Structure formats: structure tokens, C-alpha cells
Structure 1
Amino acid sequence: MKTVLIPTDFSKNALHALQYAQELYKCERACFFVMHAFGEEVYGEYNTVAKEDVEKLKEEKKQETERKLDELLDLVQGEPPNPLHNFEAVACFNNLVDGVNDFVDDMNIDLVVMGTKGATSDHKTTFGSFTIEVFKYVKCPVLAVPEDFEYRQPKAILFPTDYLLPYKRRELKLLGDLAGKFKSKVHCLYITDFDELSPRQEDNKLFLEETLTKPYLYFETAPVKNKAEVILEHIDKKEAGMLVMMNSRHSFFEDMLYRSTVDLLGLKIKIPFMVMQNLKR
């Protein structure tokens, strides 16, 4: 059974991400944990709440959060409910990133699914600040779903990779299971001006082939120019329904997200975007 965590701020984008997750695992046993982290609502942005008022406000916010979560689950479970799906509400007295990370560890979560932006995000950017923080710090694959993306099976998945990092089997299995059940094509895209791979790259590529046995796997290269443009071109060319990238320090992914150059690079992702963390769990 898949365990899926969906953080929510009760925005339209968060609801859409939850509904996308339900469709993605429609024919598979899954437990959906729907979490709202309310720690910052208690303490305030600048920790201005008086100490004597914290416990009272904490209890009020906890009850309000539990009520909203119950209403949300009533909304999404459907009539009749999917017998393969279980839902659990999680009211978390913590900040978003720490709350998600602790829950991922405690419950051995397979995948975090969330919106690309929350209720207060700048609509001129591709990713909201909370989504970027979850991408950056949570030790679990994270799938971000754009609010205006209409669900369709990801028959083609674009996976830009340089084969330099050793992949984690558990995360590749998650991708392989997902792509396998939809009979998806996974296009491994290496953006390079070199024709040959190093022995290390060859080994990692072989591990990729041996692990991703369920989907149709394709290996392609593209010359170096603006990497964001190359990715966008291949998303259109392959009619990709999902983009997958590895999170690693000193990588294109880091440049793209952590240095706030999404708009400068022109990378406007209109499809679900999965970030695999490549961390030991």
C-alpha cells in the first residue's frame, strides 16, 4: 500500500493536488494523510504572541484545523468512496517543513504531493516559497502539481539527468511503479556536448536500466545551451505529462530553484514536477 502525504493550507491549489493524488492512485491501495501545519499561525510571523496566550491560542487553532480537515476529507472522499483509499487528517503543531519531515520519517511516507503555490503566493512565479522549502529539505520524493493542470495519465515522463549521482533504489522504484502502471515512456535526457560517458556515469546509467524495468525507457542527449529551454522543448516534443529531476547540491536543479532564477531562466513548468531527493532513508 502506498503512503502519501498531502500538506494543505486549504487553498484551491492544495485541494487540486489532493484530487490529483487520488486520481494518480485511483486503482491502487493507498493511505492519504492530509496535513495542516498550524505552528506559525499560533506564534505569528514575528513571534509576537504573549507566552500566557500561547496555550489558549494553540488549542483554538488545533480545533479549527481539525474542523477544516474533517470538512476537507468529507469533500474529497466521494460518493461512493473509493474502497482502495484510506484518509487520515493530521493537525500538526509545527512549521510546514519540519512537520512534513518529521511525519515522513515517523510514517515512512512514499511520496509527498502538494500544490506548486499556496494561498498567499505570488502568482508571477512558478513555485511558491513553501513549495521550494519542501523541495529543498524534505527527505522524501515530492510531487508538485500546478493548479491549472487537468489530470491525465502521464504517458510520457521527462527525466533530465547527468548520470553523475548514484540513484536510490527506493525512489527509482516509486518512479518505475508509477510509470509501469500507466505504460509510460520515461525519456532520460542528458544535456551535454560530449559523446562519451565516464565509467561512473556508465555504472549509474546501467543501474537505472536495471531498476526501471516496468516502463518503456529511452536514453537521449541534447546539446548544451539554455538548459531550461532544452527541458521545455522536450516537454513539448514528448508531450510529457510529468517532469522528474534529482535534488542535488551544485546542480542545475539547485541553480534553478534555490537561487530564485526560475523566471530568469524562463522555466514555466505547466505539468506535475517530481523531485527525487536521493537521500538515504
Structure 2
Amino acid sequence: MRTVLIPTDFSKNALHAIQYAQELFKCERACFFILNAYAEDVYGEFHNASQNDIEKYKEEKRQEVQKKLDDLLDGVVGTPPNPLHTFETIASFDNLVDSVNDFVDEMNIDLVIMGTKGETSDHKTTFGSYTIEIFKYVKCPVLAVPEDFDYRQPKSILFPTDYMLPYKRRELKLLGDMAGKFKSNIHCLYITDFEDLSLRQEDNRLFLEQTLSRPFVHFETTSVKNKAEAILEHLEDKDAGMLVMVNSRHSFFEDMLYRSTVDLLGLKVKVPFLVMQNLKR
């Protein structure tokens, strides 16, 4: 059974993420955990209050959050409910990143799905600060779903990679399973001016090909240019329904997170963005 964690702040984009998750795993047994982390609401409003006042407000806030979660669940389960799906709610007194990471470890979560702001948002990037923190630090694949993305099966998936990372079999299997059931084409894109791969790159490329055995995998190379622009061009050219990248220390993705490149992707990527991790779990 697939285990999926969906953080929510009860916004429109968070609700959209829940709906997308249900469609993505419509024909698969899945347990959806819907989580709200509310510690910052308590300490933000009562940072100068006494301990007794904080404890009182914390309990009031927990009850308020739990009621919102229950009401949310009533609205998303569906009529009739999907018999393959189960739902659980979590009201967590912690900050969002720590709460997600702890629950990922505790429940051995397969995938975190988050909603992101639409292109009409006043913010400078679709990827808010919390989303980027979860991309960086949560030891689990994270799928960011744009608020204005209408669900469609990801028949074409773009996977930019330099073949330098030792991919994690569990996370490639997740990608392979999702792509396989939709008979998707996965386009592995290497952005380089060099034709030959090193032995390390060859080994990783072979592992990628062998592990992604269910979908159709294509290996492509393009010359070096602005990497974000190259990714955006290929997303459009392939009519991709999903973008996939790997986060690891000293990787291209990590470099993006610390530079403005992610802002360009955040503004322009209009499809779900799956970030797989290469961190120890």
C-alpha cells in the first residue's frame, strides 16, 4: 500500500494537492495522511505570554486544527468514497519541516505531496519558503503540485540528470511504478558540451535504465546553456506532465536551491515537480 503525506494549511493550493493525490493513485491502494503543523501559530501570537496561557492556547489551537482537519476530510473523501483509499489526520504541535520529517520516519512514508501557489500569485516564486525547506531537508520524495494545474496523466516525464549521483533504488522504483502504470515516456536529459560519459556516469546511467524497467526511458543530451531555460524548453517540447530531479549535496538541484535559478523554474514550471532525495534515510 502506498503511504502519502500531504501537509495542509487549509488553503486552496493545499486542497488541490489532496485532490491531485487522489487522482494520481486512483487505481492503487493508498493511505493519505493529512497533516497540519501549528506550533508557529501558538508561539507567534503568544511569544510573551506565561507558560499557563501558552498551554491553554495550545490546547485550544489543537482542538481548532483538529476540527478543521475533520471538516476538510468530510469534503475530500468523495461520494461514493474510493474503496482503495484510507485517510488519517494529524494535528502536530511542531514546525512544518520537523513535523514532516518526523512523520516520514515514523510511518515510512513513500511520498510527500504539497500544493504550490498559482502563477497569478503576487509572490515572486511558486515555490514558497516552506516548500523549498521541505525539498532540501525532508528525507523522502516530495511532489509539488501547482495550484492551477488541471490533473492529467503524466504521459511524458522530464528527468534532467548528469548521471553523477548514485540513485536510490526505492525512489527510482516509486518513479518507475508511477510512470509504468500510465505507460509514460521518461526523458532523461543531460545538459553538457561533452559527448563521452565517465565510467561512474556510465554505471549510474545503466542503473537508471535497469531500475526504470516498466516505463519507456529515453536518454537525451543538449548543449550547455542556462540550465533552467533548457529545462523549460524541453518541458514544452515534450509536453511533459511532470518534472523530476534529484536533490543531493553538491548536486545541480542543490545549487539551484541556493541561487536564483529556482525562482525562474518556480515561476515558469506549470506541471507537478517531483524532487527525489539522495539523503541517508
Q: Shorter-chain TM-score category?
A: over 0.9
- 1:227-280 CA deviation, whole Å, 9 max, x = no partner? 111100000000000000000222321232233443467862110000001123
The alignment partner of 2:151 has SS state of: coil
* Equivalence for 2:225: 225
- 1:171-209 CA deviation, whole Å, 9 max, x = no partner? 000000000000000000000000000000000001001
* Equivalence for 1:237: 237
* Equivalence for 1:212: 212
Asked if 1 retains the 8 angstrom alpha-carbon contact of 2:248 and 2:279, the reply is no
- 1:68-93 CA deviation, whole Å, 9 max, x = no partner? 00000000000000000000011101
* Equivalence for 1:113: 113
C-alpha change, 1:129 and 1:46, in structure 2 (3 Å) is: farther
Paired residue total: 279
Aligned-pair CA distance for 1:51: 2.0
Asked if 2 retains the 8 angstrom alpha-carbon contact of 1:187 and 1:217, the reply is yes
Which has the larger displacement, 60-69 or 46-55? 46-55
* CA distance in 1 between partners of 2:48 and 2:155 (Å): 50
The letter for the 1-side match of 2:245 is M
* Equivalence for 1:199: 199
* Equivalence for 1:89: 89
What are the within-5 Å matches in structure 2 for residues 80-229 of structure 1?
80-117=80-117, 122-229=122-229
The letter for the 2-side match of 1:116 is T
Structure 1: runs of 5 or more not aligned: none
* Equivalence for 1:246: 246
* Equivalence for 1:277: 277
C-alpha change, 1:193 and 1:179, in structure 2 (3 Å) is: same
Asked if 2 retains the 8 angstrom alpha-carbon contact of 1:126 and 1:262, the reply is no
Determine what percentage of the aligned residue pairs are the same residue: 77
The letter for the 2-side match of 1:65 is V
Aligned-pair CA distance for 1:46: 8.5
Aligned-pair CA distance for 1:125: 1.3
Structure 2: runs of 5 or more not aligned: none
* CA distance in 1 between partners of 2:6 and 2:105 (Å): 15
The alignment partner of 1:44 has SS state of: helix
- 1:117-142 CA deviation, whole Å, 9 max, x = no partner? 49xx8533121111001101100000
* RMSD between aligned residues: 1.6
Asked if 2 retains the 8 angstrom alpha-carbon contact of 1:31 and 1:87, the reply is yes
The alignment partner of 2:210 has SS state of: helix
Asked if 2 retains the 8 angstrom alpha-carbon contact of 1:117 and 1:130, the reply is no
The letter for the 2-side match of 1:143 is L
* CA distance in 2 between partners of 1:249 and 1:137 (Å): 11
Asked if 2 retains the 8 angstrom alpha-carbon contact of 1:145 and 1:272, the reply is yes
- 1:135-176 CA deviation, whole Å, 9 max, x = no partner? 011000000000000000000000000000100000000000
Asked if 1 retains the 8 angstrom alpha-carbon contact of 2:228 and 2:264, the reply is no
The alignment partner of 1:86 has SS state of: strand
* Equivalence for 1:51: 51
C-alpha change, 1:201 and 1:147, in structure 2 (3 Å) is: same
* Equivalence for 1:15: 15
* Equivalence for 1:4: 4
Aligned-pair CA distance for 1:61: 0.6
The letter for the 2-side match of 1:171 is E
C-alpha change, 1:3 and 1:164, in structure 2 (3 Å) is: same
Asked if 2 retains the 8 angstrom alpha-carbon contact of 1:132 and 1:258, the reply is no
The letter for the 1-side match of 2:24 is L
* CA distance in 1 between partners of 2:141 and 2:256 (Å): 18
The letter for the 2-side match of 1:213 is S
